[in-house]
Amino acid sequence: MLAIVVPRFGDRGHAELLSTARQLASAFRYLRQESIFNGRPYRLMFDMENQLVFVAVGDVDGTEENFSPDRDNAVGKIRLREPVVITDVNLPFVAGKVAEGTVWTTFYPDGFVDVTVVHIDNGQDVYTLFVSNPLTGQVNLLPNYLEY
């Protein structure tokens, strides 16, 4: 009986890491579609200090000042639970690699998405979530650290 139960407990951190990575990938896909459908820009906000991910929505004109938290979306707030953390977010054409503070990926109404690389870590394993093509917004998930 222990041979079956003990390995599952040891794998809990990896399962949490994979679950978080998949949840973030789903958020990317959802927000791209919402932005196109609603004709409004959206941002997936990464609060590195509090390990919190949430959504902000912009006005139709999409100006920088007009984004506010969007509490009425399917993503909601994603609070990462230890040992899982976002180690850094790389927005190579916008902000570069950011490991502290708040940074965001923008989803535009025409379907464009900022090129984004997110590293999620549990102290042992790392997953990389990345959008390499801003035209398609396709989200890729790799079980290692991808340097962009």
Predicted model pTM = 0.87
Q: How confident is the model at residue 10 (pLDDT cuts 50, 70, 90)?
A: low
Flag whether 147 is in a domain: no
Number of domains present in the structure of the chain: 1
pLDDT in tens, 42-66: 999 999 999 999 999 998 765 666 8
Task: List all residues 6 or more positions away from 60 whose beta carbon is below 8 Å from its beta carbon.
Answer: 39, 40
Write the CA distances from 144 to 93, 119, 134, integer angstroms: 22, 9, 22
Angle of the 2-10 helix axis to the 12-38 helix axis, nearest 10: 50
Q: What percent of the chain has pLDDT over 70?
A: 89
- Domain of residue 120, residue span: 2-142
Please give the backbone phi and psi of residue 2, each rounded to the nearest 5 degrees, phi first: -65, -35
Which three-class secondary structure state does DSSP give residue 73?
coil
| Whole-number pLDDT of residue 51 | 96
In degrees, rounded to 5, the angle at the alpha carbon of residue 120 between the alpha carbons of residues 11 and 118 is 150
CATH number of residue 87's parent domain: 3.55.40.10
